[in-house]
Structure 1
């Protein structure tokens, strides 16, 4: 019998801070907008557990063997890494910011 084991999601400390900063920035303009963006990102991260390879390989990761992935939602780009033990959320950045290679 085959079982689909969901990997736990681990948020990098900096990624948590980046999401909080984005939320607080949007909150200055719109309470509902801030909630929508935050909840949308968190819901999408939850869906990654079901299908970690759902999103394309991160084009900004040098020497990426396919375990670094990213998705964009509400003009925010979320980068994550898939390991044998977990899914690590690495970065939350606005898409208009200069992309960082890593």
Structure 2
């Protein structure tokens, strides 16, 4: 299975990296690399994380995890893991 990031999730990861860089380049790289590594691992273990509690009528394919105060939501599809969105946990979640 392949992991694919949506454009909006990639943009949010880039914004987070740039924001953290103002304080520490090393921390920015750590957060970025860890989040990417966790999503790469989803190819082998797609159901590793809990169901996404913010997804209405979740059919079991929508899941999410949090790391470093960032929430990553993804969907398990037939041939790919789709990283749908990423947001800082201080932001209000989208209901979808």
Q: TM-score range by the shorter chain?
A: over 0.9
RMSD: 0.6
* SS, match of residue 29 in structure 2: helix
Where does residue 88 of structure 1 map in the other structure?
A: 82
Tell me by how many angstroms 1:99 deviates. Answer: 1.1
Deviation of 1:85 after TM superposition, in Å, equals 1.4
- Taking the aligned partners of 2:93 and 2:8, their CA distance within structure 1 comes to 16
What does residue 22 of structure 1 align with? Answer: 16
Of residues 42, 53, 59, the one that matches 1:48 is 42
- Give the TM-score normalised by the residue count of structure 1: 0.92
**Bigger radius of gyration, 1 or 2?**
1
Match of 2:93 in 1: 99
The DSSP-based 3-state class of the residue aligned with 2:75 is: strand
For residues 76 and 47 of structure 1, the distance between their equivalents in structure 2, rounded to whole angstroms, comes to 17
The alignment's TM-score, normalised by the length of structure 2, stands at: 0.97
User: Once superposed, which parts of structure 1, at least 4 consecutive aligned residues long, lie more than 4 Å away?
Assistant: none
Number of residue pairs matched by the alignment:
96
- SS of residue in 1 equivalent to 2:37: helix
Superposed CA deviations along residues 37-83 of structure 1, whole A, max 9, x for unmatched, are 00010010011111100000000011101100000000000000001
Instruction: Indicate yes or no: 2:5 matched with 1:11.
Output: yes
